[in-house]
Each structure stands twice: as C-alpha cells, then as structure tokens.
Amino acid sequence: MKKTHLLLLLVPALLISCSANNTNEPSTTSGNSEATTSSNKDIRRPTFKYVAPEEVAINITKVGVEVTSVEVINIPDSGIKIADWDNSNIKLHVSYNDSTTEDFDFLVKHIPLESRHYLGEVGHHNIEILVNGHSTTFGFNIINNPDFLGYTCTFIDSYSHGEVYETTVGYYQNVTYAGPDFPEHVVGTEFIRKFIGWDYPLDNVHQDMTYNSVYRDTEKRFYGDAVAEGQNNVVSTYKDTDNDTIHALLYLGRIHRVAMNYGATVYHQNGDEAVELSFQELTLFNERWVELNKDSVSYGIRYLFDNTTGQYLFGSSTALTTSPIYLSNFENIYDQTSCSIRLDTGAVITTSDSPNYSTVYSIASEHKDETVSVASDKETGYYRIAVVASFDAYISVSFSKLAYGKYRLETNSKFVFAPVVASVDVCAQFSETEDFINNFDKKIELSNTMLYNVAQGLDWED
C-alpha cells in the first residue's frame, strides 16, 4: 500500500509583537545607542506589522518628446532634518526637447535604497541617481532633528518567548544584534534546533522593529553514540592456534540517521508549488549499500592515532578508515554477535545482530512505494526522501603477540554495520547543498590506543 507522509515544520512558530517609539533617549544619527540586554524578559505587546521599504521609479516620459535633462531642486539651504525629507517639498525638475519642463515630487521612496542611510546622518552628502537613462548628482545637508529619537529595535527569542535585547537605531541605518548567543536545543532524539537568523532584515531600518529569532530543526545525520568509558567493548573472540592469532569482534557504538535508501535530490524554493518526493528503483541497490557503509565510516567514525602507542602496536591501523572492508553479515567464527552495553549517553542497549545487506535491502523494499510531501512554504534548499535507521558499528580485527608487550594488528580488518530495525523512519531530508553529510559533529572514535588495550586484554595463554 502506498503511504504518504507530510514533512514536519522545520521552523517553529514565531512570537509576533512590536515596540513603541516612546523612548526619551537622545537622538541618533547612525548605528546603535544605549543598547540593553535582558535574560528572557517576557513581553506582551500589540501586534507588530513589518512594512518593507519601497523603491519607486519616477515616470518622467512624455509622448512625442524626449528628456534632455533632470535635476533635483528646492533643496533647502538651511538643511534637511533627519527623517524629514518628504516634508521638505523637494522636486525633480525635468526638461524636454520641446522646451517644456515639469516638476515631480521627489520623495524618500524615489531615492535608491542603498543611499537612504545618508538621510539619517548629519553632514553634507552627494547622491547620484539615474532616472529614465539620465543621471544627475545632487548635494544636500542633513541636520539634527530633535523630534526624531530613532527606531526602537526589540529582539525576541522565539524559543523562550522572551525579550533578549533592545537597542535604538538611526534613520535607514543597519541594526546590529549584540545580545546573548542562542544555544542549540535538542528536539526529540534525532534533531537539533539551531538559531539561523532573524525573521526580518537588519538593514535599512525605517520603523520600530520587533525581530524574532528563527530556528531550523536539523537532522542529526550520522552522529554516533560511543561506548561509555570503562565498558568492555569486546563482544566475542576466536583463537586461531594454527596462525597464533586471536580474532576479536569489537563493538564501537551506534551511528544514527543513516540512509538505507533514498530518492532523487530535488531543489525547492520557498513559495514554489508543493512537491512529492518518491524513491528510485532498487536496481542498483548493491552500489547504494556500499555507499551506506562508506558514509558510515567517513561521516560517523573518527580515527585517532597516537605515536607512542604506535611503538607497541604494529600494522597498518590507519587502513581501517582509509581503505575499509565491509561485511554483509557477521563472520561465523564468532559465537556471539550481540551484547548488552552502556553508551556514552547513559543508555544501556542490546546491540543489533541483524545481517547488514539482507536486512537493509528488505527494509528498503518494504518502503519503496512511500512518498513524502514538501509543502510550498518549506525552506529553500535541497530535499530527498530517505528511509533512515540507526546502525550498530562493529569491527573484526586480528592480533598476533610479539615480544615485550608488543602486538601486531594483522591485515584485513572488517567492519560490520548491523541495522537497528526498531529505528527505521521514512522522512524528507533537507540540505543547503546537494550533499547530505554529517551535520552534527558527534562521532564514534576508533584509535590505535583502543586497539592496543584490547590486544593487551586478550587471553594469550595456550
């Protein structure tokens, strides 16, 4: 049966409120003044409405004639008060080739957005504008305005619903947030909520503003829970008396949100039509399975090498992650392939002993007809449908004993990634790029020191 899933919201609902401009602070002509911070101060204010700044072109064309020149006139010699340009009766004077002229109101909305900050900065300024292909440069003086006290900008943490920072900014100036940092928040067990910015632009401030923090729920792909300190991670051993070696199956930890199967990557822009994501055929699943294993090693495991330990454990331990070998199932030399163990999260788990390839293929086949919808209002970026799961990571290694407390790590160490069936989830994965990599840097660590300690703890007696 075909199942359809609805993608959950990536950004939580924002708290909407506003700030009134009734401060008694001194006037400001640029930047911030007398900024304040508060720790999650709760607020209750009227509804805030943001109005985007206009940039309107003046239509000076006339049928049958051509424009010969344009100039800005009526600029008062005494200067223009901050935020008072539209009350100064400034005009755009246009001359045509039929010897006629016409004056047009020249308002703030006609001044290029990138130049409007000059209207809030005391001093003399020159601005060049282009009107219907004709350029003109005009100069003006900005003077202080005792009636303009600046715009109050209030910053709200939408996660805690509290005010965290407030400052005053000048006319068409850019506001800078200088309040406390926003910590990451764990959402369930598989997502992290990260601050990514504000709901409105911080530049060209032209009204009292309330900014709400915007968060993204980021999937913690490939993050690893390692074995807790002090736990024995040796699951099973096999002594090869013919070659004087001991094989050991080691449990490394649990890697989460690994894609067993996925569909085509689709670019979605916020506001576009909703899109339905579906899986591709499984005809190349063997390649997909190899990719799953490679990604688990490269994104989920961090290898550490200690030079001192390298004097006691010989063999190419770095090849474990540079040229890894993957098994589709556990080797039959081991009597035991599962164990009860405590992870660094404090959880005590029974590790999976499911065969890798056959279980993964079965699960991918079971979900291959499912779809996920990405709604029109979802964030701009790359999406794909995926069936993900946690995997218990094991490695099978072989040691031989040398003299004086030294050991050799033999070649052909092998990884086994056993899927945790209960963790299977079908979801839409999001990425800012086309690569769906580890975005939560918590990895399982594999080191030559750990391997040496394992070798020392093995039973080498005949």
pLDDT in tens, 159-193: 888 899 999 999 999 999 999 999 888 887 678 88
The verdict on residue 57 lying in a domain is: no
Asked whether residue 5 is assigned to any structural domain, the reply reads no
**265 and 398 within one domain:** yes
* 264, 395: one domain: yes
User: Three-class SS of residue 456?
Assistant: helix
**79: domain range?**
67-139
State how far the Cα of 379 lies from the Cα of 11, in Å rounded to an integer.
9
Percentage, residues of the chain above pLDDT 70 = 89
The predicted pLDDT at position 35 comes to 46
Q: Is 130 left (phi over 0), alpha (psi -120 to 50) or beta?
A: beta
Helix (H) or strand (E) holding 457: helix 448-457
Same-domain pairing of 239 and 193: no
Q: Do the domain assignments include residue 60?
A: no
> d(Cα 169, Cα 109) in Å, to the nearest integer?
20
- Whole-prediction pTM: 0.68
Q: What is the pLDDT of residues 241-283, one digit of tens each?
A: 888 899 999 999 999 999 999 999 999 999 999 999 999 888 7
User: What confidence tier does 42 reach under pLDDT thresholds 50, 70, 90?
Assistant: very low
Quick one: 35 and 181 in the same domain? Answer: yes
Nearest alpha-carbon partner for 7 in 245, 362, 276, 225:
276
- The verdict on 81 and 172 lying in the same domain is no
At 8, is the pLDDT very low, low, confident or very high (cuts 50, 70, 90)? very low
Same-domain check for residues 294 and 358: yes
Mean pLDDT of 141-148: 96
- My answer on whether 289 and 243 are in the same domain is yes
∠ CA(322), CA(326), CA(332), 5° rounding? Answer: 135
What is the model's pLDDT at position 16? 30
Mean pLDDT of the chain: 87
Total domain count, the chain: 3
Q: Which of 172, 199, 219 is the last residue of a domain?
A: 219
How far apart, in whole angstroms, are the C-alpha atoms of residue 128 and residue 113? Answer: 12
Identify any residues that bridge with 232 across adjacent strands, giving them in sequence order: none
What are 44-80's pLDDT values in tens digits?
455 789 999 999 999 999 999 999 999 999 999 999 9
Please report whether residue 190 resides in a domain.
Answer: yes
Asked if residue 319 and residue 215 are part of one domain, the reply reads no
pLDDT of 4 over the 50 cut? no
> Is 332 within the bounds of a domain?
yes
Confidence at residue 441, expressed as pLDDT on a 0 to 100 scale = 77
Among the candidates 139, 167, 201, a domain finishes at: 139
Query: Could you report the per-residue pLDDT of 84-127, keeping only the tens digit for each?
Result: 999 999 999 999 999 999 999 999 999 999 999 999 999 999 99
Domain match, 178 and 278 both: no
**Which one, of 346, 187, 317, 295, lies nearest residue 250 by Cα?**
317
Distance from C-alpha of 134 to C-alpha of 128, rounded to nearest angstrom: 10
How many beta carbons lie within 10 A of that of residue 365, not counting itself?
13
Q: Let me know: does 172 contact 125? Beta carbons within 8 Å.
A: no
Give the whole-angstrom CA distance, residue 395 versus residue 445: 12
> Are 118 and 198 in the same domain?
no
pLDDT of 462 reads: 57
Burial code (b: 16+ CB inside 10 Å, e: under 16) for 440-457 equals bebbbebbbbbbbebbee
Using the 3D structure, point to which of 219, 244, 279 is the last residue of a domain.
Answer: 219
Question: Residue 209's closest CA among 170, 258, 266?
Answer: 170
pLDDT over 80 (residue 31)? no
Same-domain pairing of 335 and 418: yes
Q: With respect to residue 72, please indicate whether it lies within any of the assigned structural domains.
A: yes
How many Å apart are CA 209 and CA 192, to the nearest integer?
28
Could you tell me if residue 433 is inside a domain? Answer: yes
Sign of the CA dihedral running 350, 351, 353, 359:
positive
Residue 438 has pLDDT above 60, yes or no: yes
Q: Which DSSP string corresponds to 372-428?
A: EEE-TTSPSEEEEEEEEEEEEEEEEEEEEE-STT-EEE-S--EEEEEEEEEEEEEEE
Q: Are residues 107 and 161 in the same domain?
A: no
Inside any domain, residue 3: no
